[in-house]
Structure 1
Amino acid sequence: MVACLVAWLCSDAVPSAAADETERHVVVVSLDGLAAYLVDDPMVPLPTIRRLAREGSIADGGMTVSNPSVTWPNHTTLLTGVRPEKHGVLANGVLVRGAIGMPTTIDSRRDQRDLVRMPTIVDVAHAAGLSTAEINWPCTRGSDSFDDQFPDVPDSLAHTTPRLRKELVELGLLSDESDASFRRMSAVGRDHIWTEAACHVIRQRKPNLMLVHLLNVDSVHHTLGPQTAAGYTANAYADMCLARIIAAIDDAGIRERTTLIVVSDHGFTSTPKAIRPNVLLRQAGLLTVDGGKISEAQVHVVPEGGIGLVYCTHPGEAARAAEDFKQRLIGQEGVADVVLPAAYAKLGLQHPREYRQSPDAVLVAADGYAVSGSVDGETLVASNTEARTPLGSHGFLSSLPKMKALCVLSGSGIERGTTLSAVENIDIAPTIASLLELDYPASDGKPLTAAMIQRRD
């Protein structure tokens, strides 16, 4: 069915001229966790990003992201132009509901076809004859639409394009082709490898559509918090990596024909406290614990940073159990809301009776509190250390201003010195389609035409 849909979407797609001097290129760089508010923070050294904004266009106040504001769902929205209610990615993997009485788990070792329910703009571009590549992009494992691939999954090298994997060893970026050696790298070390891999592909292959995803900012913000000395250092390093990618575009001789789109997938906020809903559920006898983990559950919570996905394991009793959960949690310290399925449309989520991965309720933490999956302890509220949650978190509802993401467009086809208002990340895929002259009617977003130089025929 997906293959047929790709064929339909691509039936009228016309790639730009094949000649080197006229073909277009789009490079999308995602700096995971680089919140929009950091661009205006004078403590953050971002010379490359700010120069691109001056020379191009920036989303004023940031770009609104999708719910939940976590990595895989939002990277999928960037490539599909639709929210999770349509593309189906709700977590960093597939949410697998267990049998009655058994907890839901997240399986990250899945291919794109298992995760994403529709063709992406990359599928359409590749089917139209354009060259494509990705470095560390989520929800792309096993895709046939990339000429070069180094996906963001566990055991990523095992799923990397063989020629690229071999080249990275020959360049000395990798000591060998094993995932074991790659996993031993630090977060900043992996960002270095991903950056240099992207530079290599750009110089050697000049793809029409290139995707790059860097993770060190997200890692540091989680561990030590945003707007800290360590956070500022991570922000500066991400900016330097971006400068390396731009230099590679220059080296490839395609700068005048390349549009650079620099985004992030979500913002960040400090979370020195956490709420532990599974502790209350354990105390109420609604779940049991074995060896510090949930062994059985009538109701339990899967944490997603600032929200928790609530799963009721007895389908016939799910509505009643979700309402009971809401009554237990609403009004408690650290709890901003409990959203039931009747209100999911406002969040861009699908009702659980229509989509098995959808939760039976969504627990929303107040700003400053993360949602912990811990079953240990006796109190709902604990410090982030006791609850074993990060000092910095995302995952909050996209309506929280701190969750706004970076969005800068610069280069070929982009007006100089413009600002954009009311930008959503569903607008990125149709913008890519417009820049590459592809039809992509599946998107719910609109091309960011206010940022584009209007062509005159």
Structure 2
Amino acid sequence: MTRLTDHLIVISFDCLSALDFHILEELPNFQELLNKGSYCKHVETIYPSVTYPCHATIVTGKFPNRHGVINNTFLQPGNPSPDWYWHRFHIKGTTLYDEAKKAGLKTAALLWPVTAKANIDYNMPEIFSNRPWLNQIAVSLANGSVFYQIDMNNRFGHIRKGLSQPELDDFVIESAVHTIETKKPNLMLVHFTDLDTQRHYHGFSSDEAHAALKRHDMRLGRILHALKDAGIYENSTIVVLGDHSALDESKAVKINVLLREQGLINVNENGKVTNWKAYCKSCDGSAYIYLHDQKDIETKTRIGKLLQDLQKDENNGIEFVITGEEAGKRGADEKAAFMIEARRGFYFHERLEGAFIDSITKEDVEARRYTVASHGYSPTKENYETVIIAAGKGIRENVAIPSMHLIDEGPTFAKLLGVNLGDTDGKVINEMLNV
């Protein structure tokens, strides 16, 4: 296959929304891309619309139930900090970076989700030290490119303050600029989370979120300058995208509190789950309801009635209830017994104690117990789309794509690189490309 570009730089600004588009048009570096490239401000995301499934979809062109990353975190009932889908082996089938590597291309990824232990030349995976006895740097080194990460930490580690933002993204941008200038990768995937963090803890349209958009514009500018300084700008394609939008919320719905009251979850004196028949696994704006025994028809019937009864009262925060089979048809996990969608202003939490519904206070947010905006909602929610902007080699100028889907991005990127992702759910958006 013919390559349409020599260097593809994919920049994910986590939680970049279609509603941000009018702001992007006024920011100089986003404006530069918009003036010379193609864009779509109506990109439909996946279900559930959370970060790890979204990023796995972007590099595979498949829905979550086909690539295997069906949530951010694992089903670990009662664990207040469940493990995430950090590792490449959780993705079924091939990825954009796998195919690029097979084609002899140089690859790099900075904090791109689900890339721990991936076969990427310069890999700084997004992975947390999720055990008290683990050290963050050691965990990162063990799951990515050792010497590359040591070099980046030696050069720019002083910028970072743990996982706090905007310092983490400031560290990532310095690493990205240095990588472009010294390694000149053919494929580079970069994930920034500043905007997502600000929205979670300050609200969708907060001053903090707006400030993060401005910082992202400056980060984009640094990447554009790095490509020029490296002498590869004219042979590069720059793609900026979001993975999902977000919605403000004021109430947390805790289905597990009811399941515990019904005797379907048992907890010991230390608050640990000892056994369970059913469990609500949160995806924030949506949630899976899993059965311990998928053949337990009695429990499934009982929960189905409970959920339908709850849905009748809007104050319970449930917009709709679908079966696992119906969830599978939407690309989510068909192994769940049910999937539930939160109404606007609500989101789901896995907590087992307290009231069924909590009103979110300022103190809750400061203590990181709850957030005031989240995602995970159905892609059919109004004003919930994300965006993509592409410019540079292989991209047509001044083309507005009326609408597309997150699953279309991987096949389109693959065509730019002259590789093939095989049997995808999405299609190549040829209208964007100089074919």
Q: Could you tell me the TM-score, scaled by structure 2's length?
A: 0.89
Letter in 2 for 1:127: K
- The Cα of 1:35 is off from its aligned counterpart by 1.2
Letter in 1 for 2:121: D
Specify which of 175, 185, 194 is matched with residue 216 of structure 1: 194
Letter in 2 for 1:147: D
Q: SS in structure 1 opposite 2:171? A: helix
CA deviation string 1:329-366 (max 9, x = no partner): 222321101111231243112421xxxxxx22111100
Contact 1:280 1:380 in 2 (8 A): no
Contact 2:255 2:356 in 1 (8 A): no
Distance 1:47 1:305, change over 3 A: farther
2:225 corresponding residue in structure 1: 247
The reply to whether residue 162 of structure 1 matches residue 146 of structure 2 is yes
1:298 corresponding residue in structure 2: 277
Q: Please give the residue correspondences for 1:28-427 in structure 2 after superposition, counting only pairs within 5 Å.
A: 28-41=10-23, 46-60=27-41, 62-95=42-75, 106-108=82-84, 110-113=86-89, 115-144=90-119, 146-154=120-128, 155-171=139-155, 173-175=156-158, 184=162, 186-290=164-268, 291-318=270-297, 319-332=300-313, 333=315, 334-352=317-335, 359-380=336-357, 382-383=359-360, 388-427=369-408
Distance 1:23 1:272, change over 3 A: closer
Distance 1:383 1:167, change over 3 A: closer
Contact 2:86 2:113 in 1 (8 A): no
Same amino acid, percent of matched pairs: 28
Distance 1:347 1:245, change over 3 A: same
- The Cα of 1:140 is off from its aligned counterpart by 0.9
Contact 2:72 2:283 in 1 (8 A): no
Contact 1:157 1:165 in 2 (8 A): yes
Q: State the distance in 1 between where 2:411 and 2:329 align.
A: 22
Letter in 1 for 2:280: V
Q: SS in structure 1 opposite 2:351? A: coil
1:6 corresponding residue in structure 2: none
Contact 2:94 2:421 in 1 (8 A): no
Q: SS in structure 1 opposite 2:371? A: coil
- The Cα of 1:296 is off from its aligned counterpart by 3.0
Letter in 2 for 1:314: D
Q: Please give the residue correspondences for 1:435-454 in structure 2 after superposition, counting only pairs within 5 Å.
A: 435-454=416-435
Q: State the distance in 2 between where 1:85 and 1:247 align.
A: 39
CA deviation string 1:111-145 (max 9, x = no partner): 211x101110111110111111100001111112x
Q: State the distance in 1 between where 2:45 and 2:428 align.
A: 16
Q: State the distance in 1 between where 2:151 and 2:305 align.
A: 56
Q: State the distance in 2 between where 1:384 and 1:232 align.
A: 22
Distance 1:240 1:445, change over 3 A: same
The reply to whether residue 431 of structure 1 matches residue 412 of structure 2 is yes
CA deviation string 1:379-402 (max 9, x = no partner): 435336669321011010111134
Distance 1:103 1:205, change over 3 A: closer
Contact 2:250 2:359 in 1 (8 A): no
Q: State the distance in 1 between where 2:402 and 2:52 align.
A: 25
Contact 2:280 2:287 in 1 (8 A): yes
- The Cα of 1:110 is off from its aligned counterpart by 4.8
Contact 2:5 2:394 in 1 (8 A): no
Q: SS in structure 2 opposite 1:74? A: helix
Contact 1:39 1:46 in 2 (8 A): no
Q: SS in structure 1 opposite 2:157? A: coil
2:131 corresponding residue in structure 1: none
Unaligned runs of 5+ in 2: 129-138
Q: State the distance in 1 between where 2:422 and 2:286 align.
A: 32
Q: SS in structure 1 opposite 2:217? A: helix
Letter in 1 for 2:338: A
Q: State the distance in 1 between where 2:30 and 2:193 align.
A: 17
Unaligned runs of 5+ in 1: 1-13, 17-21, 176-180, 353-358
Structural RMSD (CA): 2.5
Distance 1:369 1:109, change over 3 A: closer
Q: State the distance in 2 between where 1:321 and 1:206 align.
A: 58
- The Cα of 1:243 is off from its aligned counterpart by 1.2
Distance 1:107 1:166, change over 3 A: closer
Q: SS in structure 2 opposite 1:138? A: coil
Q: State the distance in 1 between where 2:236 and 2:372 align.
A: 38
Q: State the distance in 1 between where 2:5 and 2:247 align.
A: 41
Q: SS in structure 1 opposite 2:344? A: coil
Contact 2:75 2:281 in 1 (8 A): no
- The Cα of 1:47 is off from its aligned counterpart by 2.8
Q: SS in structure 2 opposite 1:48? A: helix
- The Cα of 1:158 is off from its aligned counterpart by 3.5
1:25 corresponding residue in structure 2: 7
Distance 1:368 1:409, change over 3 A: same
